[in-house]
Amino acid sequence: MKKYKKIIIYCGFLFSITGMISSCTSYLDQAKNTTINPDDAYKNFTNFQGFVEEIYNCVPDFANNNNNNFFNNGDDEAWQDNARNQGALVWKIDIGDFWAWQKESGCVNWFDCSNFSSTANDPRNKGLWPGCWYGIKKCNLGLKNLSKLNGTEEEKNLIAGQLYFFRAWFHLHLITYWGGLPYISSVLPADQKLTLPRLSYQQSADSVAKDFKKAYDLLPDEWDKTVAGQATASTITPGDASSKNVLRVNKWMAIAYLGKNYLYAGSPLMNMASGGAEEYNKDYCKKAADAFAVLLKASEEGSCKYKLCPFSQFSQNYMTLSGSQIPYTSETIFRGTYWGELGSSVSQQYLCAGILWGRSWSQYPTANYVNYFGMNNGLPINDQNKADVADPNSGYDVNYPWKNRDPRFYLNFAIDTQKMINNVSNPSAKPNQYANLYTGGNYCDPLKGSNTGYLLIKFDPIGFNQYDGLAAHQIHPVWMRLADIYLMYAEAVAEGYGDINTPVTVFNKNAIYAINQVRNRVVVDKTTDARLPGVNAKYLTSVESFMSELRRERAVELAYEGHRFNDLRRWHLLAKYPYNVKTRIYFDRAIPETNNANPANLFTDKTTPQNNKILNLREVPQYTRNFSEKHYWLPLKRVDVSMYLEFPQNPGW
């Protein structure tokens, strides 16, 4: 997109200049032809596309706003105990202070920002709330002036399709967090009194759906295949990651988000908010399944470029070890602009342990969330039909709790005795070379260590510490990838049609098939290419039983990629036990029988830490999030709900 930053800056400059000229006409006697005609932005495809490019810059980079994990606000992460007064959004959410999303609270987060800019090349100048409203205005302005475009039918469709897509995308993400809102489908006159009422969630979603449908009809499957897109097409292969067209929205993105929009509208929370019961709305779920089916059918038939990536490339969905390669795989559907890391601060954030950097804070994976990661035989460690009861067939061993786990476990978490530092020439590095997470270990230091018994390494390759030197890696989780579509399809089919066994859409695949496609791509044994088995038969006896495994699969597959908070909310589970409790583990190391060495310094297997025996494992509550019904929605800004009576605050706030 670098090539288009010039266009973006030009358009921003164009409109700022236009504004200044219009405000100064009464003071300056201007010579003929010295002003910029505002219609120049729309007169041809190149100029109009430059106008549209600015809208892409309104999509925030939720992971790199401050190079931290503050976007994981479900039951998945715990904030450092001694640093809770620093105002991190993770902790603010835990204590029920949902006002903290607003810049007025002083809390650093990706929802809002103090100096929003649609043209600045800085993730800190982006925020979901200001970006969505600004982007909606831009979309409506573009659609209002679409008739001024002197171009081919293809060019007009490309421009219109992008504008309809983003108007829908911005509204969808606003209602996801704040509930039903007015659907702004035209440029609002500055001198007109606002009276637009808040719609119900499902009413808002219906308007979102109309725009995504228009976008689907107008947009191409790949920009590289269009005449207009040739100027910015890849020089290698169509649609490859280096193409400037990769970020540009296409019809598959539109149909994918149409499905997500319908599934959210049909979820229990949104159905309740629209006057229904605390249950799925089957009609919306059927619409969601039908939309997802179009994309999945195209994917498996080879008529679109999106495919589940090989498991060997799994981490490239959110991170690369190359300083120049932005995370991207064949399953990347939608990601926003990447503005890069925040300079030197990257060496101090995204910490998997404060002790590795000498810092007094970090974020750690909760034990309750780690428990969602089952065994490599496909079974959960706890029977999903009986809460907190171990599954006797899983093979889980309390003395070897990290052995033979789902391979995705090891991509996300570091465990006791795992090697964390390679270079121990520095004397202070030696005691920290291995993760001492046992009770009393230095990795559990209350100031610099884990308060859960685990470390999160999903975004931190081993060697990312002050002793080995900064690893040149890029972190950029995507907004949507194909695995998410398979899982949402399975959910929509199960809840919409009440049938997990029968193919009911044009995709001609049932819910079980969809979830197993995601699981079966996970390689358990590289030598034999053994794969993670599908959902066990014991969970295929009913929709309810199936859904317990589907919810667990979403927690595992999409871990720490920003989905969990919204999933718990839309399922209406956020305030319910056990989802409102964050836990930690304590355990002791087992001293080898042939040696009386100190367990702090000795363990038998230094290469495969999951093979080391532990004793006295116990899981205890760390804290309980005392949420009420109001915590299912973020509060609107007080200044906004004071504008007019038809725009009320969310209940309870």
SS (H, E, C) 580-605: CEEEEEEEEECCCCCCCCCCCCCCCC
Q: Is the CATH code 1.25.40 the one for domain 250-272+279-316+326-338+476-529+538-548?
A: yes
Burial class (CB within 10 angstroms; exposed 0-12, middle 13-18, buried 19+) of 215 = buried
Q: What angle do CA 151, 155, 160 make, to 5 degrees?
A: 115
Beta bridge partners of 397: 400
The one-character DSSP state at 229 is G
**Is the CB of residue 467 less than 8 Å from the CB of residue 429?**
yes
What's the CA gap between 478 and 124, in Å, rounded? 18
Look at residue 234 in the predicted model and tell me its pLDDT: 72
Look at residue 23 in the predicted model and tell me its pLDDT: 30
- As a 3-state breakdown, the chain gives helix, strand, coil percent values, each rounded to 5, of 40, 10, 50
What's the CA gap between 461 and 473, in Å, rounded? 8
DSSP per residue, 143-208: HHTGGG--S-HHHHHHHHHHHHHHHHHHHHHHHHHH-------SPPPTTSPP-PPPPPHHHHHHHH
Q: Which are the contacts of 255, defined by CB distance < 8 A and separation ≥ 6? A: 212, 216, 291, 292, 294, 295
Residue with tokens 């002003």: 35
Token pair for 278: 């605390």
Token pair for 419: 């090697």
The number of residues in the chain equals 653
Domains 1-71+113-219 and 250-272+279-316+326-338+476-529+538-548 share a fold: yes
What's the CA gap between 511 and 253, in Å, rounded? 21
Q: Which 3-state string (H, E, C) describes 360-407?
A: CCCEEECHHHHCCCCECCCCCCECCCCCCCECCCCCCECCECCCCECH
Q: Which residues of the chain have pLDDT under 70?
A: 1-35, 67, 235-242, 322-324, 340-351, 383-389, 470-472, 592-602
Domain ranges of the chain: 1-71+113-219, 250-272+279-316+326-338+476-529+538-548
Of the candidates 491, 492, 413, the one whose C-alpha atom is nearest the C-alpha of residue 458 is: 413
**Is the CB of residue 565 less than 8 Å from the CB of residue 610?**
no
Q: What is the pTM of this model?
A: 0.92
For the domain spanning 1-71+113-219, the CATH number is: 1.25.40.890
DSSP per residue, 230-277: GGG--SSSTT-TT-TTTTS--HHHHHHHHHHHHHHHHSHHHHHHTT--
Of the candidates 161, 147, 276, the one whose C-alpha atom is nearest the C-alpha of residue 214 is: 161
